Amino acid sequence: MRAITRLCRGEYATVRQLEQQSYRLLKPLVVVFGVGALLCLTSLLTVLGALICAVTGVLLVGVFVWMIQLQKRPRRDLRCPYCTNRNSVFEGIEQFDCDFCERPVRFDEKGTAVPADDSFQSRPTSVYDLPVE
Ligand SMILES: [Zn+2]
């Protein structure tokens, strides 16, 4: 159920995160649908199985349509400043965790993806970056 509230609140920044939330929602529905299908094969609980299949089937289709609608939101591809892998980030997101290295990424005033934990500024990359004493 937490997956539903996360999806409703828009607690996903990238397409991959949206897909992960969707699978978390779809998995139990598929399991219940399977149980319903098995009950249909029995002689005593066929009606119950058919009912379960019908309800979960409608829910599955509804969730699929909802996922497709959520994925249609405008988004842009950007490279992670840490690992340079491509993330498909939804518009309006101010900060997100990279899908691959899971480190925080934010946007600077130009809209460029930059590290959110300031690790690149705090760690000098060459001796010329060290403060002169
Ligand atoms: Zn990354």
Which one of 36, 52, 71 terminates a domain? Answer: 71
Domain assignment of residue 27, given as a range: 2-71
Write down which residue in 21, 40, 71 finishes a domain.
Answer: 71
Kindly state the average pLDDT of the residues 7-17. 86
How much is the pLDDT for 124? 52
Last residue within a domain, chosen from 39, 71, 103: 71
Cα(125) to ligand 1 centroid in Å equals: 19
Q: What is the largest CA-CA distance in the chain?
A: 86
Is there a single domain that holds both residue 57 and residue 108?
no
CA of 118 to the centre of ligand 1 (A): 14
Q: Taking 80 as the threshold, does the pLDDT of residue 24 lie above it?
A: yes
User: For the chain, how many structural domains are there in total?
Assistant: 2
Same structural domain, 12 and 63: yes
Beta bridge partners of 105: 96, 115
Same domain, 61 and 10: yes
97 has which bridge partners?
104
| 66 and 93 inside one domain | no
Q: Is pTM, for the whole model, over 0.75?
A: no
Alpha helices for the chain (secondary structure H): 2-8, 15-41, 46-71, 119-122
pLDDT tens figures, 111-130 = 888 998 766 554 555 666 56
User: Are 80 and 67 in the same domain?
Assistant: no
Q: Are residues 66 and 12 in the same domain?
A: yes
Neighbours of ion ligand 1 (CB under 5 A): 80, 82-83, 98, 100-101
Q: How far apart are CA 80 and CA 8, in angstroms?
A: 26
Residue 5 burial class via C-beta count within 10 angstroms: exposed 0-12, middle 13-18, buried 19 and up? exposed
- 75 DSSP β-pair partners: 90
